[in-house]
C-alpha cells in the first residue's frame, strides 16, 4: 500500500516527447475528481461522428517512468562512455529505439540470447539493469567484470517487492509457485531470486496449475513432474516434499484475476488434501495477495470498467511483446472486436489497420475495420510501457479519418 501511495506522489523527469498535454490534463482532472481511485468508468471524448472512451487508467506506470528517467539521465551524465542495457529497457519499440539512437547498446535480446559478448564489457563501461530486473547469475557476472550494478539498476520496485515477499515466506519453509510466462525477463529474474531462498516452480496458467495440483495430491507419478515442468523448477526440487507447503507470487504484468484464481485453486486443493480449514490453512499455504502490482490492477480494473460501455470496437496501444498490454487485449477481445496496434502508423487508412494477435504476435491487415454508421464508438487504452504521446497520436489519426480535429 505504501509503495502505491508513493507511486501516486512521485513525479519523474522523462523526455517531453513521451508526454501528451491533452492526456495529462485529462488524467489530472480524473485524479482530482476521484482521489481514492474508486471510479473506473471511462472518460468520454465526443467529437461528433466519433466518440472515444478512454480507460480511467492507462500508460506509463511508476516502474516504467522510473526506468526511463534513470536511463536517459545516465546517458546525459556519461558523455563519451559506452553505455549498455542488459536487454530492452521496457517493452516498447519506440522508447528502446530512442535509447539506441543515443548510442545505448543491448547486451541480450528479450529471451536472453547474446547480442554483445560479456567479454567485451570493461569496468569503464556503464551497464543498465532494465525495469524487469535480472537473474542472480547475471548480476554476479557483471560484478565480476567490475560493473557497479546498483548504480544503474532500474528494476521496478514492485518487482523487487515480489522478490522480497518470496524471501520472507521462504524463511518460513514455503515453496514458491511463480505465476508467469516462463521465457519473460521478469519471470526469469523472479525465479532466480526466489530459487536462492526456496524450492521454486513456474506455472504459466490455470491449465498448468491444475496439472501441478495432481502432484500435490499424488494423482500423477513423481517422475513425470520433471519432464512436464522441465526447465521450470529449481535445482534439487523434491516433488514429494516441496509441494506440501507453498505460496504463490506472480510476474507483475499477468492478469491479477488469473493469479488470484491460481492461488485460490491451489489453496483449496491443499485445504482438501490435508483436511484443513480457514483457521489452519496458513500451516501449508502462504497469503501473498500483497504482491499484486497496483498499476497492473488499476489498468485491468479500468479496462473492465471501460468494457461496461457499449462500443463498436476497442483499440489497445502498446508493444507487441508487452505482457501487460497483451493482457488488456485479452480482456477486451472477450467482449468486442479489438485492434492491437503499436502506434498511429498501424492505422493504414479508413479501410485497413495493422493488427497483431496477442498470443502469437503475428501481424495481419484487417479490412473494413471502421463501421459505416455514425457516431462510431471506440474504447481506447494502452499498456504500462506506452507513452501518452503515442495514444494522443492514435486519437488524432482516427479522428482525421472522420474529418474532425481534437
- What positions carry a catalytic annotation? 186
Q: In what order do the strands lie in the sheet with 376-382?
A: 43-46, 50-54, 376-382, 313-317, 338-341
The x, y and z cell numbers of residue 298, run together, are: 488499476
State the Cα–Cα distance between residues 26 and 32, nearest whole angstrom: 10
C-alpha cell at 21: 498535454
The candidate with the shortest Cα–Cα distance to 133, out of 85, 172, 95, is 85
| SS3 sequence of the chain | CHHHHHHHHCCCCCCHHHCCHHHHHHHHHHHHHCCCCCCCCCEEEECCCEEEEECCCCCCCHHHHHHHHHHHHHHHHCCCCCEEECCCCCCCHHHHHHHHHCCCEECECCCCCECCCHHHCCCCCEEEECCCCCCHHHHHHHHHCCCCHHHHECCCHHHHHHHHHHHHHHHCCCEEEEECCCCCHHHHHHHHHHHCCCCEEEECCHHHHHHHHHHHCCCCCHHHHHHHCCCCECCCCCHHHHCCCEEEEECCCCCHHHHHHHHHHHHHHHHHHCCCCCCCHHHCEECCHHHCCHHHHHHHHHHHHHCCCCCCEEEEECCCCCHHHHHHHHHHHCCCCEEEECCHHHECCCCEEEEECCCCCCEEEEECCCCCCCCEEEEEEECCCCCHHHHHHHHHHHHHCCCCCC
Distance CA(210)–CA(24), nearest Å, equals 43
Amino acid at each position: 500500500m505504501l509503495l502505491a501511495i508513493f507511486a501516486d506522489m512521485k513525479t519523474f523527469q522523462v523526455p517531453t516527447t513521451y508526454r501528451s498535454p491533452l492526456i495529462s490534463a485529462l488524467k489530472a482532472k480524473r485524479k482530482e475528481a476521484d482521489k481514492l481511485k474508486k471510479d473506473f468508468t471511462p472518460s468520454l471524448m465526443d467529437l461528433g461522428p466519433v466518440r472515444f472512451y478512454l480507460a480511467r487508467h492507462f500508460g506509463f506506470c511508476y516502474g516504467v517512468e522510473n526506468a526511463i528517467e534513470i536511463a536517459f539521465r545516465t546517458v546525459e551524465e556519461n558523455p563519451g562512455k559506452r553505455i549498455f542495457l542488459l536487454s530492452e529497457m521496457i517493452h516498447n519499440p519506440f522508447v528502446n529505439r530512442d535509447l539506441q539512437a543515443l548510442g545505448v547498446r543491448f547486451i541480450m535480446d528479450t529471451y536472453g540470447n547474446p547480442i554483445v559478448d560479456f567479454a567485451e564489457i570493461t569496468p569503464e563501461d556503464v551497464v543498465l539493469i532494465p525495469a524487469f530486473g535480472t537473474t542472480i547469475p547475471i548480476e554476479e557476472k557483471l560484478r565480476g567484470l567490475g560493473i557497479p550494478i546498483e548504480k544503474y539498476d532500474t528494476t521496478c520496485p514492485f518487482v523487487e517487492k515480489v522478490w522480497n515477499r518470496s524471501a520472507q515466506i521462504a524463511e518460513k519453509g514455503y515453496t514458491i509457485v511463480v505465476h508467469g510466462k516462463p521465457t519473460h525477463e521478469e519471470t526469469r529474474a523472479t525465479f532466480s531470486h526466489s530459487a536462492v531462498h526456496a524450492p521454486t516452480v513456474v506455472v504459466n496458467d490455470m491449465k498448468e496449475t491444475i496439472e501441478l495440483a495432481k502432484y500435490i495430491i499424488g494423482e500423477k507419478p513423481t517422475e513425470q513432474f520433471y519432464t512436464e515442468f522441465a526447465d521450470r523448477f529449481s535445482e534439487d526440487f523434491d516433488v514429494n516434499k516441496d509441494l506440501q507447503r507453498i505460496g504463490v507470487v506472480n510476474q507483475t504484468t499477468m492478469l491479477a484475476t488469473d493469479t488470484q484464481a491460481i492461488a485460490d485453486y491451489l489453496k483449496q486443493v491443499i485445504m482438501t488434501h490435508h483436511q484443513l480449514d480457514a483457521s489452519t490453512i496458513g500451516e501449508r499455504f502462504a497469503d501473498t495477495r500483497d504482491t499484486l502490482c497496483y498499476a497492473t490492477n488499476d489498468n485491468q480494473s479500468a479496462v473492465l470498467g471501460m468494457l461496461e460501455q457499449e462500443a463498436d470496437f476497442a483499440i489497445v496501444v502498446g508493444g507487441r511483446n508487452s505482457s501487460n498490454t497483451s493482457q488488456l487485449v485479452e480482456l477486451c477481445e472477450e467482449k468486442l472486436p479489438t485492434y492491437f496496434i503499436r502506434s498511429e502508423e498501424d492505422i493504414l487508412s479508413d479501410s485497413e489497420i495493422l493488427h497483431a494477435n496477442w498470443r502469437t504476435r503475428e501481424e495481419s491487415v484487417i479490412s473494413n475495420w471502421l463501421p459505416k454508421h455514425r457516431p462510431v464508438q471506440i474504447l481506447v487504452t494502452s499498456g504500462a510501457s506506452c507513452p501518452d504521446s503515442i495514444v494522443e497520436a492514435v486519437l488524432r489519426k482516427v479522428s482525421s479519418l472522420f474529418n474532425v480535429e481534437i
